[in-house]
Structure 1
Amino acid sequence: MQGSAPQTFTIAEFLKWDDDKELNLNPKFQRGPVWASPARSYLIDSIIRGYPIPKLLLRTNIDRDTRRTIRDVVDGQQRLRTIIDFAAGKFALTSKAGEYRGYRYSDLEDEEKDAFLAYKLTCEQLINASDEDVLEVFLRINSYAVPVNGSELRNARFDNAFSSYVKDLTRKIPFVWELGVISNRDRVRMNDHSTIAELLGFMMRGVAEGADSDITELYESHIETLESELPSEELFIQVMQTTSDLLADFKNEAISTRPNFLILAAAVMYSMGVLPEGRLAFAKVEEPGSMLNDRDLAVTAIGHLNTAIDTPAEDLDKRALPFIEARSSSQRMASRQVRFEYFCRALAGKSFYDM
């Protein structure tokens, strides 16, 4: 089997190959078209804005007698089908395309059409490869592909005011991600969207277990919700700024990672009077009026919890033990309740050493 170095071809070239019946989008080893409208719109939006997309893999057969070249799509069928369908005016873009929402190809400005047609797709070609060779390559590609996670599935499935609001808020709080709440790798896989969705859920109906199924149910329950019915952007960002300020001295440390950030943010919401009770019990925590009155004391108390996380068990102060044990509990709601109580005490300026 002969391969080629990566090459680039314009979208215009692919459209011509398709018109000339020299592009086969449905070789027998490929899957059928399954992309939903939001995913298709997101791809076209990336192209219009000039962002790179993953490379394609083609099997190129050259017939020496007819001098025709036929290209079978080994990997990238759904991307190419989306591009061809958009160029043919077969669908309009959804809100995933921002200000291009509702646009068809014919609605683009002339210069935008030119840029779209001139956009270069990176490809590798398998020259005159046998079916067995191509099937082997296809199987290898799919054997080490990373399975789609819940965040990515929700991004593809939901296209409404709630999902758009989550996406917008995610972009507007870079100071949260700079703390190391989730890794850059997790951000690439859209777990930042799940974090924001869960935090919005806290403000709307209180803290729940936070399982992936809970977050999906949150999206499902707000399919018809208008943005005006969601928590205000100003209030949400205020909560994020307050929480991030309390963790400013603990960037990339254990206390700033997602599980603790979420519950500290819930405690901040509680102190501001904007957290419904949900599945948490408020009976054992401080009164909101006693919290966040002294930032320095609160930061010191949070710092003590951060230190306790990294303290060997034999050296750990027993008063911190419930907080530490809660991290490894299989009972997620019980774990969140314990950490919520510790964080509320911290926001009242009380270290676990005062217990």
Structure 2
Amino acid sequence: MKLIEQIDIQPQTAKWLYDLSQKGLLEVDNSFQRNYVWTEKNQIQLIESILIGYPIPEIYLWNTGTDEDTGDTKYSIIDGQQRCGAVFQYIANNYKLKASSLDPNNPKKGVIQDRLFKDLEADDKKAIWSYLFSIRLVRSQVERISIVNMFLRLNSNNMTLNPQELRNAEFEGEFMLLSSKLAELDFWEENKIFGVADRRRMRDVSFVSILLVFLKKGIEEDISNTNLNQIYDLYNDDYQDKETDEIKFKEILSVINAIIDNNNERIKILKRQVHFYTLFTVVFDILNNQDNLTDNQISNYRNFIDNYDNDALLEQYYPEQLSEIYHYKSLVKEGTRQKSNRFDRHRHLKKIMNK
């Protein structure tokens, strides 16, 4: 039977969706989308569309089974997490309809702007509760692999999902789990390496994946999205060195944390992935030959990075490494993807730290 023949189209109210959520019967499958992507402006504009009476894209739900004792049916959101979340959070009075985010030509702007749900007029509250969403219900007998494939097809040409978000839907195995786990380490938040937008769009997981690829395959390995997909697939079911790689990854982050030492200027530099990636590879290399970085190696890196834009001081600190420094700085402008650049930056930075 074709998948389309196992999907039922049902109009359902926002109240129906809200009640499912309140009863714990509406699940967000984090293997599709880990994070809540929409900004507050996106949420406000959706509520505005509801109050005006504009149509909203359909929501896909998967029937995951009915409880034999209560008769309650659970659903998993395949596509529509942001739409549902925007409605639920507004009803919970978690944000106002800020005037700056509303359409200036909206005839209702004057009566809804800057209002929480509880402050709306009665008719507007009812309009939200009774708004009819177009729901596509996927029947329970449909297998998960078909659900994943459908999600990927729904979003593969959708610019709202980036390659990492699509990988998150397609792969749920060992490499994905470790990348996600390491992206949740306190180190990233404490040093403000990733912003809120990065975490919402899984750019943190994507970068951690690239660092893991280095641990597994070395600096010469291709880190294009195509090859990342192949790595995810290769280590999806069997990742024998998972625990060893996790320990090594944390060890390297601990050393980098000591180098940063809560210095905001160093954090600004290392927020650029090209700098962080290169330091990560050099620290890994050094730790393969000694137990820890020496005070001299740490000091050399700090002097280099603290005076990165001060050529006069760099010439004073590194009179014999100036060619490496200038070459490194020129390569930084070209990004992380090209293999020869990654290798040369690694080589130059290692010389600077070992002077």
Shift of 1:292: 4.4
Matches within 5 A, 1:30-109: 38-39=31-32, 74-75=56-57, 77-78=59-60, 81-82=61-62, 85-86=63-64, 89=65, 106=67
Is 1:254 aligned with 2:269? Answer: yes
Is 1:338 aligned with 2:344? Answer: yes
Residue 191 of structure 2 is matched in structure 1 by 179
The amino acid of 1:231's aligned partner reads T
Aligned partner of residue 236 in structure 2, secondary structure: coil
Aligned partner of residue 194 in structure 2, secondary structure: coil
Structure 2 unaligned spans of 5+: 1-12, 22-27, 37-41, 75-84, 92-126, 133-154, 316-321
Shift of 1:321: 0.7
Residue 298 of structure 2 is matched in structure 1 by 299
**TM-score of the superposed pair, with normalisation by structure 1:** 0.55
The amino acid of 1:326's aligned partner reads L
- Whether the aligned pair in 2 keeps the contact of 1:182 and 1:258 (CA below 8 Å) is no
Shift of 1:178: 2.9
- Whether the aligned pair in 2 keeps the contact of 1:175 and 1:244 (CA below 8 Å) is yes
Matches within 5 A, 1:260-339: 260-273=275-288, 288-289=289-290, 292-295=292-295, 297-311=296-310, 317=315, 318-319=322-323, 320-329=325-334, 332-339=338-345
- Flag the 1:158–1:73 CA change in 2: closer, same or farther, 3 A: farther
- Whether the aligned pair in 2 keeps the contact of 1:255 and 1:305 (CA below 8 Å) is no
- Whether the aligned pair in 2 keeps the contact of 1:194 and 1:215 (CA below 8 Å) is no
Distance in 1 separating the partners of 2:345 and 2:202: 26
Distance in 2 separating the partners of 1:106 and 1:334: 57
Distance in 1 separating the partners of 2:298 and 2:19: 59
Identity %: 15
Residues 249-307 of structure 1: CA deviation (Å, up to 9, x unaligned) = 3443214532111121111111222xxxxxxxxxxxxxx34x84423x22322123324
RMSD: 4.6
Distance in 2 separating the partners of 1:108 and 1:308: 68
Distance in 1 separating the partners of 2:48 and 2:19: 14
Figure out how many residues of one structure are paired with residues of the other and give that number: 248
Distance in 1 separating the partners of 2:131 and 2:196: 40
Matches within 5 A, 1:209-220: 209-220=222-233
- Whether the aligned pair in 1 keeps the contact of 2:14 and 2:129 (CA below 8 Å) is no
Distance in 2 separating the partners of 1:107 and 1:347: 65
- Flag the 1:74–1:256 CA change in 2: closer, same or farther, 3 A: closer
Shift of 1:146: 5.5
